[in-house]
Amino acid sequence: MPTPEEAMALFSKRLSALLNEHNINQAELAKKLGVSESTVGKWLLMKSLPRMGIIQKLSELFQVSKSYFLEEIVDDRRTYYLNPETAELAEQLRTNAGLRMLFKASADLDPDKMKEAYNYVQYLKSKEPK
């Protein structure tokens, strides 16, 4: 069990990383959670921890488990997928906004249209200078 100081440090580190990853500032997060900016600042400065209800809101907002904020997990949240190829694809979708956009746009296409989209992407790639 981590000490209160360790828990605050881990929470701060994880929250800060998620804010950067999602390009959200303290003011925006405070508004989404219904707390003051100074409260968010205290979390980031390792001065306090939020109540479990706020951690639940954060986990929903950032799509991570509640334990992600509070437990030092060696494998991290990115090892959810056991198949390495699936894990790599999931990581690419998580970190690449353009890829996420294409994935979402093509997700409900019928197989023939998906093949057309694939062929068009291959065509565009062939036109890029190497």
Domain 4-78 sits in which CATH superfamily? lambda repressor-like DNA-binding domains (1.10.260.40)
From the centroid of its chain, how far is CA 75? 15
Mean pLDDT of 66-92: 69
Return the DSSP state at 91: H
82, pLDDT greater than 60: no
Which candidate, 6, 5, 21, 4, places its Cα nearest to that of 72?
Answer: 6
* pLDDT greater than 60 at residue 116: yes
For the stretch 12-63, pLDDT in tens is 999 999 999 899 999 999 999 999 999 999 999 999 999 999 999 999 998 8
The reported pTM is: 0.57
Residue spans per domain, the chain? 4-78, 100-130
* 38 and 29 Cβ atoms separated by less than 8 Å: no
CA distance 98 to 96: 6
Distance CA(61)–CA(77), nearest Å, equals 15
Token readout for 97 is 């906004």
Closest CA to 57 of 77, 30, 22: 30
How many CA atoms does the CB half-sphere of 120 hold within 13 Å? 8
Asked if 62 and 55 touch (Cβ cutoff 8 Å), the reply is no
What is the structure's pLDDT at 77?
47
Percent of the chain with pLDDT over 70: 91
